[in-house]
Structure 1
């Protein structure tokens, strides 16, 4: 897996042929979904098919989104997939407290298995930092925007921007990577996806979850640095190597340690090109 994954492709666990296509789609991470994408009468089949898939090492990292921890299926999901050798991480939906993360990390999964918490309610967003610092096994947090919209009664997309920024700040304050942006549900609206990604990148997201392989190139282009950004980052890193410490570049741009770190991340992303 790349140091900065940009594309996270969801695939329903009860459709192994779709999962197989996802694994060859070019996504950085494939998320096999046992939750929202699977009807109640298909949960057992999805769980068994996913456990079978993860009995061997897949060609790309695979995360599994289990069912909500207070559902009738969560314990069976965890028992079936958590020990699988091909599993890279678990995605935990509808997290609203740090205690839920701790319970899974300490009692339900192998020691050290990476966990990602999805915040999908007002309460989850309000407790974002507490969740982000709940346990060392937690490697990231993200929003589940469909459920959050319903909880908040938000109609306009801009109504989610405060929650988005809250989660981004909480992740960074906790020392976690910048969150990936939530899915764009209209898989045919690639122009809208690109515009939404540009907005998300401006807020501080890094990468995005996708529902269809056709969305992947749009997401990657949106979050990769431009040629101008790469050139500026190279100038900053070169200047810092020549003269350590805070300084002003010939164009008047002031740089310090934080600016140099950002430039180094830009160049790391540029290597994906």
Structure 2
């Protein structure tokens, strides 16, 4: 199944985590890092370990504390062996070695690396190919924006394209778009999702359940996109090889492959 919605919830609020598991998100991300104050870290870890003692109703990822810190060591010891953990998300990754170090301690848990600094973005491909346990990379745009001193949103388009290209070059799935921080700005969220989809992202992280249907609608193909994809597939079945459709569209192997991806994603929404 293709996941499109990834909902962050703070690990020190188990009552909120319980609600998140029933709100329709494809994946729930329990955050032990930025969303949890230092004096609440141990409680958040213990509450999360209790949750993951049994498999939850939807996949649960945990954003652990930054690798190679005492907090990260405690997170790995407490959570990696648990049957309810689907994946670990590693914040502020700047090198392949950080991923390898976590992978060696958490196997066979899947890992996702978050690139939140200029150095992390520069090393995107090395990180993306660091270990077989790594299943994806993504940006942490709030920290990256601060690191780069970026004021306008367009200033992040190059790093965004960088992770899209690095993911594809490493044969990883398309990256998930970073959160839209204004949870009430649903129109802005929708516009931002369209832009992210144009750049090559697939799906998006969210901070509030109200954002989930907006993200899903933006990333699912429209009726027109489905119709056009079906036309391409039908034409290719009748006449394999390069051709031009009646409306002037050129069809070759790459176009057919893209059409199949569109139809596969459309079936996910049914």
CA distance in 2, matches of 1:270, 1:27: 17
Aligned to 2:249: 253
Deviation at 1:70, TM superposition (A): 3.3
Aligned to 1:5: 3
CA distance in 2, matches of 1:99, 1:69: 10
What RMSD, in angstroms, separates the aligned Cα atoms of the two structures?
A: 0.9
CA distance in 1, matches of 2:123, 2:239: 42
CA distance in 2, matches of 1:53, 1:243: 54
Deviation at 1:71, TM superposition (A): 3.0
Structure 2 residue 37 is the aligned partner of structure 1 residue 39? yes
- Residue number among 202, 209, 213 corresponding to 1:213 in the alignment: 209
CA distance in 2, matches of 1:203, 1:251: 26
SS in 1 for 2:29: strand
Deviation at 1:243, TM superposition (A): 2.0
Residue range with higher mean Cα deviation, 204-213 or 243-252: 243-252
SS in 2 for 1:73: helix
- Residue number among 112, 133, 140 corresponding to 2:136 in the alignment: 140
Structure 2 residue 78 is the aligned partner of structure 1 residue 74? no
SS in 2 for 1:183: coil
Residue range with higher mean Cα deviation, 123-132 or 259-268: 259-268
Kept after mapping to 1: 8 A contact 2:93/2:120: yes
Residue range with higher mean Cα deviation, 65-74 or 175-184: 65-74
After superposition, the C-alpha distances for 1:162-188 in whole angstroms (9 at most, x for unaligned) are 100111111011111110100001101
- Residue number among 246, 250, 266 corresponding to 2:262 in the alignment: 266
Aligned to 2:145: 149
- Residue number among 83, 88, 96 corresponding to 2:86 in the alignment: 88
CA distance in 2, matches of 1:136, 1:258: 27
After superposition, the C-alpha distances for 1:175-220 in whole angstroms (9 at most, x for unaligned) are 1111010000110111111111111111111110000000000000
Deviation at 1:242, TM superposition (A): 2.1
SS in 2 for 1:270: helix
CA distance in 2, matches of 1:162, 1:9: 25
Which runs of 5 or more structure 1 residues have no equivalent in the other structure?
A: none
Deviation at 1:31, TM superposition (A): 0.4
CA distance in 2, matches of 1:201, 1:40: 36
CA distance in 1, matches of 2:82, 2:244: 52
Aligned residue pairs total: 269
SS in 1 for 2:89: strand
Structure 2 residue 104 is the aligned partner of structure 1 residue 110? no
CA distance in 2, matches of 1:262, 1:132: 23
